[in-house]
Amino acid sequence: MAKTVALFFVLGLMVSCASHHNDRGISSVEEQKMEQRSQYYDRVYPR
- Cα–chain-centroid distance for residue 19? 11
**d(Cα 26, Cα 20) in Å, to the nearest integer?**
9
Amino acid in the structure at residue 3? K
- pLDDT tens per residue across span 1-47: 688 888 888 777 777 655 555 545 556 777 788 888 888 888 887 76
pTM: 0.34
Give domain limits for the chain. 2-44
Alpha helices in the chain (DSSP H): 2-21, 28-44
Rounded CA-CA distance 23/8 in Å is 24
pLDDT in tens, 1-14: 688 888 888 777 77
